[in-house]
A and B are shown apart, each in its own frame.
Chain A
């Protein structure tokens, strides 16, 4: 029995259960809605989820260190606007330059957050609550009254959401969605295989211990915020491609959806545990819920209530159940160890 418990780590159990929930939800909606299992449903969900996923990758990095970044929505809005404005003024800008611009600006904004948190010793909730307002104010001031208009954008940018990477039968895998998936996978590998990833977990589990153990905690946290900002910048670029018309309230409220995806996806708000795959599942679940509620013509206003409830459930489960699962995990490790010591020939 103990060996079965050893096969799946607690985080993996969490992810599996999330997957099961997703399957269950899809089956439920499929029974209620006609034409649910169509490419169009997949399209809708994937397009609405891709921006959240990209930004949530960055948010996960920050949350793992026991911090939070609420300013992501303002960063997405600001980078979308600035990028849109720059390319409106010179349509010949290459895609690479535009993306670099968005990434750079996002990274700079994230840098400010990181400096204030890691070196200014200000709690992240305070810093990002403030920068959420400040960056939005910068956007409103900078943009003034002018919106970015679709007619000023180059064709490649306006058509970008429709570009397909490849097609399987009737299912089109859009380029932007594939990019979002790729980013999730890349950063998942970072978390698992790179020392940087391990440092994130260490700091989140016990910041003081990590510091006393000699880890470069400040730099690690700073980098997490910079990456979060950069990924939000990329999200801004994708937002520009998708929505086209950018006004001063672009992406308002996005941070709530991002945090919902992260928390529901099993990333502990207190830091120290969680994976990118889990976050992706959380984002997908939220996206499915949202789109399906619209399809069912259920009052869309139930969406927020569901989100809040789900976040609460996720946090409660993580705090109450996960600890118990981890205890069992640790205990079964001790038992196996004991079993091996006392019965060496049995193997």
Chain B
């Protein structure tokens, strides 16, 4: 069962994450006395709330062996569509539904090419990233649109449920749902198996295409929802809304222990890495590091999140090999086990 094998391995990765999280929090506390204040903690989540919600569905997609680079553009497009429709006089509720539907359509479009035409998701979603951003620009051009109804913008602000915002509550609910779906449902198991080995899954009778399509439609829907959340939070929408969000989102997922090749990763890990990235950004803001530096740090984190497991795995293999060589030969049984682990492992040097 994929879950059991993953637990033991990733328990180590998650412990590492938990340690890093404690470290970051400690540094933050030391740096600013305001860090632990409710206002700051709530802000910590609020400023990135859309990214972390999308990271939940991105986890599924990456474990499934694909990637979706277009999420930020879908967020932008849905926000722009909502704003544009509202500006034209459409009632806000209708505009919201339209934006959600648009998000789903965007996802379905990507999903069709990936699931049914078998195109590589990297290329398709890269095209989607550019295409959807372009469509957002056609709608809003250079303008910014605002003046949304009061009930709408209130959803984006804090102090809705105690000090929490609608977004934060939504995130918590979705996190629990995602956790259950990924680890305790058949659907989740299918996602893992397909990510591990697409052909084997197909031969085993799993509905590969439908699963992939479902995931991308869901991704579009959630991105659409988060676009609306962004519009509510900022109070205005411009064509470059949510630009470059995908860096943070992918970092959160990969840092959480999800392998870019698919097949492994846990929701707990992603949850921890979300906290790490948020705390890191918050700490840097409090220290007045510019947005650019923050983004660079996230970029470095992204690379490290894949580099470190590689190095650890290499180190472990080297250690095992050395251990096997040092042991005296004639002993049977256990010795053979050690040696058999030294399989040829063609390292994937050029897979993207």
Contacts and interface: CB of A to CB of B under 8 A. Distances in A.
A67 B118 contact: no
A307 B303 contact: no
5 contacts: A126-B302, A130-B301, A140-B290, A303-B134, A308-B134
A299 B352 contact: no
B133 A308 contact: yes
B122 A269 contact: yes
Contact of A130 (B67, B261, B300, B350): B300
A116 B303 contact: yes
A311 B129 CA distance: 11
A79 to B, nearest CB: 17
Given A68-B122, A315-B119, A315-B127, A271 B293 contact: no
A133 B129 CA distance: 17
A212 B352 CA distance: 19
A271 to B, nearest CB: 7
Q: From B134, B247, B261, B295, name the one whose CB has the most chain A CB atoms within 10 angstroms.
A: B134
Contacts of A259: 126
B247 to A, nearest CB: 6
Nearest to B67: A125
Interface stretch (B39-47, B150-158, B218-226, B341-349): B341-349
A299 B299 contact: no
Interface residues of A, number: 59
Contacts of A315: 119-120, 123-124, 127
Given A140-B292, A312-B113, A305 B352 contact: no
A138 B296 contact: yes
B141 interface: yes
Interface in A86-133: 116-118, 120-127, 129-133
A125 B122 contact: yes
Interface in B176-194: none
Interface string A281-308: 0000000000000000001011111111
Contacts of A302: 134, 138
A133 B350 contact: no
A14 interface: no
Contacts of A211: 346, 349
Given A125-B67, A269-B120, A130 B302 contact: yes
B198 interface: no
Contacts of A140: 290, 292-293
A218 interface: yes
B307 A304 contact: no
Interface in A260-286: 260, 263, 269-271
Interface string B86-120: 00000000000000000000000000010001111
| 10 A-B pairs closest in CB distance | A308-B131, A137-B296, A304-B134, A133-B299, A305-B134, A308-B130, A301-B137, A312-B127, A311-B127, A130-B299
Interface string A217-247: 1100100000000000000000000000000
Given A136-B295, A211-B346, A316-B117, A260 B130 contact: yes
Given A120-B310, A211-B349, A311 B296 contact: no
A137 B299 contact: yes
Contact of B350 (A207, A212, A316, A320): A207
A305 B135 contact: yes
User: Secondary structure of the A side of the interface?
Assistant: helix
B213 interface: no
B351 interface: yes
B250 interface: yes
Nearest to B110: A312
B295 A123 contact: no
B175 interface: no
A308 B296 contact: no
Contacts of A125: 67, 122, 260, 352
Given A126-B254, A269-B120, A299 B307 contact: no
B132 interface: yes
Given A122-B303, A207-B348, A312-B113, 14 more contacts: A120-B310, A122-B306, A123-B260, A125-B352, A126-B260, A130-B302, A130-B303, A134-B299, A217-B349, A259-B126, A301-B134, A307-B134, A308-B129, A312-B128
User: Secondary structure of the B side of the interface?
Assistant: helix
Interface of B: 67, 113, 117-120, 122-124, 126-135, 137-138, 141, 239, 247, 250, 254, 260-261, 290, 292-293, 295-303, 306-307, 310-311, 346-352
A327 interface: no
B131 A305 contact: yes
A137 B247 CA distance: 14
A233 B212 CA distance: 40
B264 to A, nearest CB: 14
A60 interface: no
Nearest to B120: A270
A212 B137 contact: no
A261 to B, nearest CB: 12
A309 interface: yes
Contact of B299 (A132, A304, A306): A132
A131 B292 contact: no
B182 to A, nearest CB: 22
A177 to B, nearest CB: 26
A190 to B, nearest CB: 19
Contacts of B261: 123
B306 A126 contact: yes
A263 B310 contact: no
Contacts of A133: 247, 295-296, 298-300, 302
A315 B128 CA distance: 12
A212 B348 CA distance: 12
A65 B141 CA distance: 38
A263 B126 CA distance: 11
Nearest to B246: A129
A247 to B, nearest CB: 12
Interface in A129-184: 129-134, 136-138, 140-141
